[in-house]
A and B are shown apart, each in its own frame.
Chain A
């Protein structure tokens, strides 16, 4: 704890503020039953954690979190929400007790584990002293690419990245296999005969009677 207080007090305050916002948002997500609000709050959670990653100097992780967590997964969750009901079922009083115990036990263990963590940016910590430092030293001579993250991702660990790309591809493939390619809405609008949906009065007035009927 002394390391944090010795350093910049402003950074420590920003850390505390951001983590407090994360805590409040997480509690709100757990308490709410309205799925739309939950999806939006999870987007906010990702955005705030991306901000926090910037504070702890993990810019690449922050970038990915902002793009994937706040952008993509929010939209996919919204799309999934359209296919189901808008509110979650209220669960029974005692059904919450088991998850609460698991969460508290995990939290206690994690807090106990943080006692052994090295300080942020400690040059002698295993992460920085071992192979990480070696990459920083040999990267320029090996690859000639200024950004170590890119050369580790693309060159030293190219095989892993190929695996990740294949995982993303397989995720898209399996969703398409389970849900279809989603061309139903396109076929629907072609059948209705509107040239460009969302433009002109014709398509709007055509769409109206169907909505009223349904």
Chain B
């Protein structure tokens, strides 16, 4: 991947990667109002990093987003999701009962908003971490992807 004829690809993807990551977060936080949510946002975020890895090589992507970080991120995501469930349990409700988070009567929605925000964040972490771990596991086995390998 060190050949010079990828220069257009490099320039374009350098411009595109921030937009992709921004779009991932838009998808994440707009999920309450339109299509989107943690699953899609997690994939899009992972794809941003993967595009970097494809253009600039897997080792430099691993320096930017280390594998130890991605696998920890996946675990933290599941932990955050189930943590919201246990939070509701500790407040005296059922598992994942958002209404119980702040002891609200049925008309109020603060617990629902906070709860769904947190679990979507957990899904984002888990999905992007797991996808990047899978990508690194496959792509990291070959030392360097050369042009003729395609």
Contact = CB atoms under 8 A, between A and B. Distances in A.
B131 interface: yes
Interface stretch (A6-14, A92-100, A113-121, A164-172): A164-172
Interface string B122-146: 1100110111011111111111111
A147 B98 CA distance: 17
Interface string B53-95: 0101111101100011001001101100110010000000001
B143 A188 contact: yes
B2 A203 contact: yes
Given A72-B43, A155-B115, A181-B67, A146 B32 contact: yes
B31 A75 contact: no
Most buried by B among A62, A72, A145: A72
B71 A176 contact: yes
Interface string B18-51: 0000000001000111111111100110110010
Chain B, interface size category, equals 35 or more
A197 B59 contact: yes
Contacts of B123: 161, 165
A181 to B, nearest CB: 5
B103 interface: no
B150 A67 contact: no
Q: Chain A binding site: helix, strand, loop or mixed by DSSP?
A: helix
Contacts, number: 219
Interface string A100-143: 00000000000000000000000000000000000000000111
A84 B77 CA distance: 32
Nearest to B96: A158
B146 A211 contact: yes
Contact of B78 (A76, A165, A181, A190): A165
B100 interface: no
B17 interface: no
A182 B122 contact: no
A198 B116 contact: no
Interface in A156-180: 158-159, 161-162, 164-166, 168-169, 171-173, 175-176, 178-180
Given A155-B116, A172-B74, A72 B47 contact: yes
Interface in A56-103: 59-60, 62-64, 67-68, 71-72, 75-76, 79-80, 82-83
B135 A185 contact: no
B141 to A, nearest CB: 6
B17 to A, nearest CB: 14
A144 interface: yes
Given A147-B32, A165-B77, A172-B129, A186 B113 contact: no
Given A153-B37, A185-B141, 13 more contacts: A63-B27, A82-B142, A144-B109, A146-B33, A154-B115, A162-B82, A168-B126, A169-B78, A169-B129, A172-B74, A182-B138, A185-B62, A207-B2
* Shortest beta-carbon contacts, A-B, top 3: A182-B140, A172-B130, A79-B138
Interface of A: 36, 59-60, 62-64, 67-68, 71-72, 75-76, 79-80, 82-83, 141-147, 149-151, 153-155, 158-159, 161-162, 164-166, 168-169, 171-173, 175-176, 178-186, 188-190, 196-198, 203-204, 207, 211
